[in-house]
Structure 1
């Protein structure tokens, strides 16, 4: 049973279509899309040439030339998002016990862009099989070891307690926050800066997803290429970004008068032990994760006001997820609004789970449910209320967010409005 109650008191976001939390929420609540032709490299040789990129200027965010040189793009996104979260929390990190302060960063593919860029240099664009390491940047080791991402965030906030990278594919952003919550709940730490980051829009990643035809080839209509639950969908749109949070114990947050966005009331994960990329059509493993998260939160399915779907825009995932909701939520699955923000900001792999947590916390704060953009022709097999096209005003006290990842990982988290449930 969970011990201390854990809440979000600070949010920081770097996402496609917006710089910071305010612009992120504006895009989601207005149902705008940030998917476009890839501009980070020449994508003309590839099958899928669309993505959701972050318009990110590291220097404008105060990163020094030395920091930019040693950090991969994903690390820079995480550091800037963490700074925003810390400022938003109002917490004086200099006054905290550093040994009771920790960091948990989720990432699916680590420092992909830095590694690929350096390999191109040392191999002369792949020409040389035997490479000359002396041409690499002196910080190449930091790109190779993903722990450098969490270390950079820890240095920013002075954390000397538990500092970890969680890498469970596309559920990393949920699992890192779930892990951070457990550390505070069990008393191993008092404050965690937690979240996820990924910057995978690079030739190697695009080529990998091209090979298995997971990403959309709808290159002539990039703005409407991500179509979760729509009958015309034909794959997901790759994205990038970061969302970071300040997590602390509820009573401590109340004593200092902090703004509390949401309580992390329940979390669970499962694995289907079935296939690296395949999903069972009945959604059993996701349904079990949802059931366990609801039970830990002491929330009945009928209490849910909103479900943030994984909603990647592949036929396999969308139908599997619809089945999981029906299996775990019963008749309430047909009443509760469900939506996918990947329709607007793409699928940023390990980062997306944290970006979706941010969307859920903001939906609760504003009592607005973000829509599923581009949903014009619903798949008859995806017959739930997927909030098409337009955001919906609704009192939102209890939210479920889920994630599904390669390897068979399935995770679920329940967020509740502070004061909406009795003390456990």
Structure 2
């Protein structure tokens, strides 16, 4: 992906949002949990995790029937698709584009940009177990496959579900860039609006990675914490004794809209996306350079598009995964990009509370940034009781902080060397 054009006369704003996250379904429950500093990490209940090194995760308490999904939708869609659909419906309602509110929408200029790292992995794994007789048979028996098995393999099926729900007829794209997928999907939507391809984009990301095979993969990497005896304190970004991520799940979806289009229809503008950029480190599939140079470059590029100085940033939403190398890499990148201001700006990681939902987390963190801007509250970094002396910035430990927030920087890192930065501001900031 390229960076957004800072010279564009068209501006991209967020007019609706919906969240499905650990600790509560819906934006209100999500934000109440974050601002209270509560963690949603607990022993895994979705499957028997007893054979695994890490046996804790941040699960969503999700009843698809209670959330309004029909029996056909429940049968047809993987858990990740169900998350996306519920979050989309909330975003459309919040943005005034449900029911009669969408009557005047030019659907050919409305599209979908959806991020996901691993797609419909829950159902895909279940199907493989069934048709291979628990993995015993090398040649699987297709007669036992469910009617929708192909859609579980094709990540594009998730985009189809969102487009059907929103009744969009414009651009439809899936962005799968590992853990930066959510940021990149929203960034791509912004680009389509800025270049005039679309006026409205339903954008965000979803993932439901809490499956045996995903846990086994992260066990093999030793990327997850073994802190099973204290689940609530399992994810501890920037802590002296941090020892790995806690996996999570969820989705966040947004109505991203051209500013004048939103103003004409009287939409509530919740935030503006001022800048977006991504880079790759071309270094290692899972490793990171300690100097954070490529992430710092993405931050500088996003600030340049936003036409902001580093000192204009009032909050940094950290990737903050809780691994030893990531937290050091990110700290170095923020110092490199923001200079002396890095020591003055508050920074925090919501993964300490909602876990790391792979491709979904970038969009969930954008939702947290929008709410932080609106309410003037910086969510805390839970579990940060003893700070690593090598991580020496202001990570807002334990308790949320009230302050005026004008512009926010949110960043993400992903396997494969992906590094993404986005700058958001208060509603309707003049270009």
Among 133, 141, 155, the residue aligned to 2:150? 141
User: Judging changes above 3 Å, is the alpha-carbon distance between structure 1 residues 343 and 306 closer, same or farther for their aligned structure 2 residues?
Assistant: same
Q: Deviations over 1:223-260 (max 9, x none)?
A: 11010000111000000000000011112212222211
Aligned partner of 1:245 among 229, 254, 262:
254
Q: Distance in 1 between matches of 2:371 and 2:308?
A: 20
Residue matched to 1:38: 44
Q: Specify every segment of 5 or more residues in structure 1 that has no aligned partner in the other structure, as ranges.
A: none
Partner-residue secondary structure (3-state), 1:160: coil
Structure 1 residue 369 and structure 2 residue 378: aligned?
A: yes
2:427 aligned residue: 418
Three-state SS of the structure 2 residue aligned to 1:248 is strand
Structure 1 counterpart of 2:169: 160
**Any unmatched runs of 5+ in structure 2?**
none
Equivalence for 1:76: 82
2:346–2:394 contact (8 Å) kept in structure 1 = yes
| Structure 1 stretches of at least 4 aligned residues deviating more than 6 Å after TM superposition | none
Would you say 1:268 and 2:277 are equivalent positions? yes
CA contact (8 A) 1:93 1:157 kept: no
Shift of 1:399: 0.2
- Aligned partner of 1:291 in structure 2 is 300
Q: Deviations over 1:178-219 (max 9, x none)?
A: 000000111101100000000000000000000010000000
Please give the secondary structure, in 1, of the residue aligned with 2:230.
helix
- Distance in 2 (CA, whole Å) between partners of 1:396 and 1:256 is 27
Contact (CA 8 Å) 2:269, 2:428: kept in 1 or not?
A: no
SS of the equivalent of 1:239 reads coil
Once the two structures are superposed, residues 162-186 of structure 1 have per-residue CA deviations (whole angstroms, 9 ceiling, x without a partner) of 0011000000000000000000111
How do 1:373-384 and structure 2 match up within 5 A?
Answer: 373-384=382-393
> Is the counterpart of residue 114 in structure 1 residue 120 in structure 2?
no
Pick one of 10, 24, 30 that aligns with 1:24: 30
Aligned CA distance change for structure 1 residues 382 and 145 (closer, same or farther; 3 Å): same
Deviation at 1:333, TM superposition (A): 0.2
Aligned residues: 422
The verdict on how the C-alpha distance between 1:104 and 1:419 changes in structure 2, with shifts beyond 3 A counting, is: closer
Equivalence for 2:208 = 199
Deviations 1:65-103 (A, max 9, x none): 111111110000000000000000013234311211100
Alpha-carbon distance in structure 1 between the residues aligned to 2:427 and 2:361:
24
- Residue 338 to residue 129, structure 1, CA distance change in 2 (3 Å): same
CA RMSD of aligned residues (A): 0.8
Counterpart in the other structure of 2:21: 15
Structure 2 counterpart of 1:123: 132
**More displaced stretch, 81-90 vs 62-71:** 62-71
C-alpha displacement at 1:419, in angstroms?
4.2
TM-score (norm 1): 0.99
Structure 1 residue 104, shift from structure 2 partner: 0.6
Cα distance in 1, alignment partners of residues 394 and 33 from structure 2: 21
CA distance in structure 2 between the partners assigned to 1:337 and 1:235 by the alignment: 23
- Please give the alpha-carbon distance, in whole angstroms, between the structure 1 residues aligned to 2:139 and 2:229: 40
Q: How does 1:319-334 map to 2 (within 5 A)?
A: 319-334=328-343
Please give the alpha-carbon distance, in whole angstroms, between the structure 2 residues aligned to 1:418 and 1:217.
Answer: 42
Map of 2:312 onto structure 1: 303
1:356 aligns with 2:365: yes
Question: Where does residue 11 of structure 2 map in the other structure?
Answer: 5
- Partner of 2:195 in structure 1? 186
SS at match of 1:307: strand
Equivalent pair of 2:112/2:172 in contact (CA under 8 Å): yes
Tell whether 2:235 aligns with 1:226. Answer: yes
Cα distance in 2 for partners of 1:93, 1:285 equals: 41
Does the residue aligned with 2:273 lie in a helix, a strand or coil?
strand
- Does structure 1 residue 62 correspond to structure 2 residue 64? no
The answer as to whether partners of 2:13 and 2:428 remain within 8 angstroms in 1 is no
Within 2, Cα distance between the matches of 1:186 and 1:236? 37
**8 A contact 2:78–2:120 mirrored in 1:** yes
| 1:394 matches 2:403 | yes
